[in-house]
Amino acid sequence: MEYNLTNQLDSKVIARFMDGDEDAFREIINHYKNGLYAFLKRFLNHHDQVEDVFQEAFLQLYNSRSKFDPTKNLRPWLFTIAANKAKDALRKQRRTAAIPIGSIATSDEMSFGDALDILASRDKMPLDELAQDETAMMVRQIISEMPENLREILILSYFNQFSYKQMAQMLSIPIGTIKSRLHTAVGRFAKEWKITVGSSKK
């Protein structure tokens, strides 16, 4: 389930928001809240951080509204702010964490061919044998242990349905890099999933 992927906000709401209208700001929050909340839940996986980053992202959106080009889509702008805030929160957490956390793992690049080999391998993916909750828990674990740059691309593309072009603009990196990171992220997810499911069956 995803929210408001295609429905654009009324341009009048955007115009009122640009003028600092608080009601328009509230409408914007209500329009994007579920999509952004879902993105942060998947990216951060820690409730306190999600709450804080969510609120900070909307505050910055409001405070930097004069820099927004109203002819463009507000959604990538908001997600860019949120992604940067989320990465800041993770960096802060890393500075204070005594135990190494998954997000600082290395992200060895995987070629498209290697990723396809993993995806197309005939190993069983016995999803049906697992309960929904169990599957979700395992998937969450694998995603949380992914390097931050791969996790970000996977969530933005698969769950939030941003295009290559939008992601390249949001993250300020070339489309080619976005593609290779996504291939690596998907290949890595498939590999880890097969290992996890295989070990849980033993």
Partner 1 sequence: MPKLSDFEKELIFDYCLGLESSENHHEVRSLIENNDEALELYDAIKKSLSPLDSLTAQECPEYIVEGAIDRLCKAANSSHIKLQELLVDEQSQDVGKIHFWPNFSQVVTAAAVIFFVATVFFPVLKSARQNSWKQKCQWQLSQIAGGLSNYSADHNNRLPSVATANGQPWWKVGCSGQDNCSNTRNAWLLVKEGYVIPANFVCPGVRDGKVLKFDSLQAKQYNDFPARKYITYSSKILAKRDTIISLGRNPFFSDSNPLFENLPQNNHKTLKLRLNKKLLTINSINHNRKGQNILFLDGSVEFTKNRNIGPNKDDIFTLQNTDVYNGYEIPVSEADSFLAP
> Which of 13, 36, 90, 110 touches partner 1 by CB under 8 A?
36
Burial of 17 (0-12, 13-18, 19+ CB in 10 A): buried
Query: Which 151-190 positions form the footprint of partner 1 (CB under 8 A)?
Result: 157-159, 161, 163-164, 179, 182-183, 186, 189-190
Distance CA 196, CA 173 (A): 32
DSSP state of 160: T
Provide the phi-psi class of 46: left if phi over 0, else alpha when psi is between -120 and 50, else beta: beta
Quick check: 29 binds partner 1 (CB under 8 A)? Answer: yes
Quick check: 9 binds partner 1 (CB under 8 A)? Answer: no
Distance CA 26, CA 133 (A): 33
Quick check: 2 binds partner 1 (CB under 8 A)? Answer: yes
CB of 86 to partner 1, least distance (A): 15
Quick check: 41 binds partner 1 (CB under 8 A)? Answer: yes
CB of 56 to partner 1, least distance (A): 8
Contact 160, 170 (CB under 8 A): no
For residues 66-81, one letter each, b for 16 or more C-beta atoms within 10 angstroms of the residue's C-beta and e for the rest, the string is eeeeeeeebbbbbbbb
Residues that bind partner 1 (CB under 8 A): 1-3, 22, 25-26, 29-30, 33-38, 41-42, 51, 54-55, 58-59, 62-63, 112-113, 116, 118-121, 125, 127, 132, 135-136, 138-140, 143, 157-159, 161, 163-164, 179, 182-183, 186, 189-190, 193
